[in-house]
Chains A and B, each alone.
Chain A
Amino acid sequence: MTGEPGGPPPALDRELHHPTRLALAAYLSACGEAEFAVLRDYCQVSDSTLSKTLSALEKTGYVSIRKGYLGKRPRTWAALTLTGRRALAGHLTALEEIASAARRAGAEPEGDRSEPEED
């Protein structure tokens, strides 16, 4: 993990580390709630995988699940909780820090990064 030099490394959230979980949480963060089928189609996963992922995120308190009907058809809706929104914000901040640290390291000339020689 790459962090600020000398400082603690940015804290990535283990519950949001997997690409599917991150995509799911990010999608839900930009909407009030989303239907199961919409999430499944966006993440391109099976019903079973999405169901397990949502259950895992619900267990951690990041996602709330609501079951209801649209007309006579049963529907499942998922929403990101406040805890989940905070966790996602923290995770994205940590990713930003890692990415910007890597960019800075890449932009620095070789001479700047070498230890100064002592005579």
Chain B
Amino acid sequence: MATTGDPIDGRQAEQALGAAHAAQAAARAAGSTRSRGHTLGQGLTCAVGFTTLGLSGISSQWSGRLLTVGVLSLAAFLVLVWLGAHHGGTTPWFDRRREADKRAWLLPLAPVAVGLVAAVPYGAPGWLIGFGLASGVEYLLRATRTGTA
């Protein structure tokens, strides 16, 4: 790191810190704003995708069609995730020091736990269905809580 030899007084340091914190706040605000419809769309495609994949393993008669619907739904889900991440020209960044971001990390683990519980009696299809439904509910909660994700 090249250090500056320029003297800097306390007032200048305060101003620079203020500007830096304002920039960080602006970036966080830009990266966290999502429309409610977008979050609901993500939840719907995620729930349908994983649930139909799980059901395709149970139903032999509809297996092919359910698999197609599942794969298409998950593809749509990934597209929505990518679009959401690049919405507004700023992708979000997880800062583990902030309480809100701890929620953002921990909440998505709930569907994994639900899936694992469902996997005990029903195996892999149970995990997929449990995970899909719980993810859908989790996205729904996110959408209803603040209108943003």
Q: How many of chain A's residues touch chain B, expressed as a range?
A: 35 or more
> How many A-B contacts at CB < 8 Å in the complex?
118
**Residue numbers in A under 8 Å from B7 (CB-CB):** 1
**Residue numbers in B under 8 Å from A28 (CB-CB):** 27
A contact residues vs B (CB 8 Å cutoff):
1-2, 11-15, 17, 19, 22-35, 37-38, 42, 70, 87-88, 90, 92, 95-96, 98-99, 101-103, 105-106
**Residue numbers in B under 8 Å from A42 (CB-CB):** 23, 26
CA distance A1 to B6 in the complex (A): 7
Q: Is the interface of B mostly helix, strand, loop or mixed?
A: helix
In this complex, how many residues of chain B approach chain A with their Cβ under 8 Å: the count is 34
Contact yes or no, A30 B16, CB < 8 A = no
Q: Is the interface of A mostly helix, strand, loop or mixed?
A: helix
Task: List the B residue with the shortest CB-CB distance to A104.
Answer: B10
Contact yes or no, A30 B8, CB < 8 A = no
